[in-house]
Structure 1
């Protein structure tokens, strides 16, 4: 029996779904935090360069492999490497499945925090102050309750399929996210202290742009925010009609992702300076207090100090983050689900709930050993697994995969100079650049 694969039904559906995968907590939570801790405008400048030189080519390579194979990441990489190293190709694909589950294990915990804070603001508005306080206070029991809720939300969309689930809900959620983000920016920029935050964010100190810590942080942020290296973009590419103009699609995804990250910076960094103008201590020794926890410590206190309007803003803000997290978890969940459906002959429904159960188990392990494991899992994924996966994609496209690969077809290069330049950039320049940066990360 031949399996008929589901697919995206439109270009805009694919772009919104892929951008939804890219646009998540990495943009709205991680990007502003990294920018604030790494020179503001200097970080933004380096981030844009790294995105252009490395992240977008890596995104292209990942989507291209999936689009040409029209298969899940394990089969796609196995086919691309079958002439030279088929077992290693499938191994790399399975490593991507593990990376997707690792990402989901911590991502769903953080997403649960977002959801609980949104409900905390709603509870406060409704007069349930004790419940609001509990929802806003970090605790193991809160993680145990809200992490599964978020996993179920993602599974409910995934099991409906690519068109009826992923494409439909991405088309609904992404415009809502954008409108909420712009509305919050307009409000925050009218508050005292916001202009100081704008200066910090938009005016770079070029003496900082060669700081290795800043460059490494920008690279990790670019790969994480674009969801590269765990197979999500590869499986999305496989659901697009073969030989579409991948370059234009990648530019559309990258532009939308970078635009949202830029907007998130316009919201969060001015908001930090608004909080500072209101008397809160935001920075200590040049770094944010709490770093990744700034959204859950500094901003809720700022919103609460604004009275009723602040609670309404808080509801919108954390609802925005919850939507961003949901669109990202969808793509990561689809990676192992597509593998089980296509290679293990499981129904989409059973595969979805099996993977959701595995993610829930992994998440509960992180909750139980939070102080020991949580930061380590994030560090291993974003600074080791994702860059190594991207390096492998470059090697596959440029050197390992020959038959059917137009980017490595010298006969086509003679007729198409642009294709030759692009193929050689992916073949020679990208692996060298990424290796140099990765060596700096590791050593």
Structure 2
């Protein structure tokens, strides 16, 4: 690895960065609403099982490709290949992942901008700026453009500092802050009326619904998408890992942290929903379906915070600060995917490449903002329901069918000499060859049909 590329200075630094990429709005917003919409605790059990049966093996495939290649996603995938057609295939998959990451960031920045404005709204209330508070809380073109740009600038500022001084340094700061705020909010919500009913719905499963095909496919999709798979991000992060590190355990730690934070987020959001219901906020329809699933964070929870009186201002500020931090830890990984390719492929300086690509993504984001009704949902569907499953499937095919098994084992044995005799090696190669492609294809097919 060239010194100019940089690498994570410690195991803890990589775990925080990779977990930060995995832990985002999908965990803290998406997972609890998916759980509430799909049988509560039954969905939780299915998710926990599938996270380790599918997401972890697929994550390991991307990390192994990255560390073996010690380069951007395209170059790393090409180093696994031997034939000309395989190298062309590698370019399509690697560059496709880079494009996918950039497009995800373009709509993610808009949502994150909403989180930033929602964070400032309680502060404006506190100082008596009612006009500013109203502007911050209502959809408008000016608000969306300003806060989308602000979030992209924050992301660019971190990535421009490089691997150790940018990604790793800020991940070490933001992830503990995220956990601290999350636990403080949980403690507060648990003291409110209705919280125990929410806790029961979240933790006591109805096993009669656990084999529901729709529930299983949704849990499978949540486990896969929450780990940033199919966007080249984990290939890039894998390329910054030292050859001395044990990839098998590192991948397990990242999966555990991702699942843990999703689980803990459920301990906050679902009891909070029942607390809001106890205070007169309508959460479920007469048939028991969750209302306002997509806008839960912006409609139901603010109503709960308002019902708390003065303390609700501080709780609302803490909650949306948490959401903003979660968004930032994910966005820095999304920007790193195209930046690393531009730096290595075109010999650009990191600062120059970061601001240039950040500017391109900002233009795409602004285009979406100007056409929010038509482009926002389209880009989300294109990337998360089509792009990610296909690209994740291709990475599994690379490791399971193209990469020679002996060479693959040799790479894993760097940092894990006992890998050949481990349970992981007895199971994982077959999983990545047959089970993961089949399961990911199932998610993709379900996405298209729905």
Match of 1:307 in 2: 309
Shift of 1:216: 2.4
2:232 equivalent to 1:226: no
Map 1:343-354; keep pairs closer than 5 Å: 343-354=345-356
Structure 2 contact 409–420 (Cα < 8 Å) conserved = no
Aligned pair partner of 2:407 in 405, 408, 425: 405
Q: Give the direction of change, closer, same or farther, for the CA distance of 1:436–1:299 in structure 2 (3 Å limit).
A: closer
Structure 2 contact 101–335 (Cα < 8 Å) conserved = yes
> How far apart are the structure 1 equivalents of 2:163 and 2:356?
18
* Residues 35-57 of structure 1: CA deviation (Å, up to 9, x unaligned): 11111111111111221111111
- The 4+ residue runs of structure 1 with deviation greater than 6 A are none
**Which sits farther off after the overlay, 429-438 or 160-169?**
429-438
Match of 1:34 in 2: 34
- What is the SS of the residue equivalent to 1:283? coil
Long gaps (5+) in structure 1: none
Shift of 1:413: 11
Map 1:129-278; keep pairs closer than 5 Å: 129-242=130-243, 244-278=245-279
Shift of 1:3: 6.7
> How far apart are the structure 2 equivalents of 1:217 and 1:432?
15
Structure 2 contact 19–257 (Cα < 8 Å) conserved = yes
Structure 2 contact 189–268 (Cα < 8 Å) conserved = yes
**Which sits farther off after the overlay, 373-382 or 181-190?**
373-382
Structure 2 contact 57–428 (Cα < 8 Å) conserved = no
Match of 1:435 in 2: 441
Match of 1:97 in 2: 98
* Residues 321-361 of structure 1: CA deviation (Å, up to 9, x unaligned): 10110010000000000000011111101110111111111
2:398 equivalent to 1:421: no
Q: Give the direction of change, closer, same or farther, for the CA distance of 1:405–1:286 in structure 2 (3 Å limit).
A: farther
Match of 2:88 in 1: 87
> How far apart are the structure 1 equivalents of 2:145 and 2:365?
9
* Residues 115-156 of structure 1: CA deviation (Å, up to 9, x unaligned): 100100111111112211221112222111100000000000
> How far apart are the structure 2 equivalents of 1:118 and 1:373?
25
Match of 2:112 in 1: 111
**Which sits farther off after the overlay, 239-248 or 280-289?**
280-289
Structure 1 contact 73–339 (Cα < 8 Å) conserved = yes
> How far apart are the structure 2 equivalents of 1:67 and 1:287?
45
Match of 1:48 in 2: 48
Q: Give the number of aligned pairs.
A: 441
Long gaps (5+) in structure 2: 412-416
Shift of 1:61: 0.6
Shift of 1:212: 2.7
- What is the SS of the residue equivalent to 1:288? coil
**Which sits farther off after the overlay, 337-346 or 424-433?**
424-433
Structure 1 contact 223–386 (Cα < 8 Å) conserved = no
Map 1:16-35; keep pairs closer than 5 Å: 16-35=16-35
Structure 2 contact 194–275 (Cα < 8 Å) conserved = yes
Shift of 1:271: 0.6
Structure 2 contact 63–239 (Cα < 8 Å) conserved = yes
> How far apart are the structure 2 equivalents of 1:177 and 1:431?
33
**Which sits farther off after the overlay, 236-245 or 269-278?**
236-245
> How far apart are the structure 2 equivalents of 1:102 and 1:400?
28
Q: Give the direction of change, closer, same or farther, for the CA distance of 1:428–1:407 in structure 2 (3 Å limit).
A: farther
- What is the SS of the residue equivalent to 2:294? helix
Name the Cα RMSD after superposition: 2.0
Q: Give the direction of change, closer, same or farther, for the CA distance of 1:414–1:381 in structure 2 (3 Å limit).
A: closer
> How far apart are the structure 2 equivalents of 1:174 and 1:81?
36
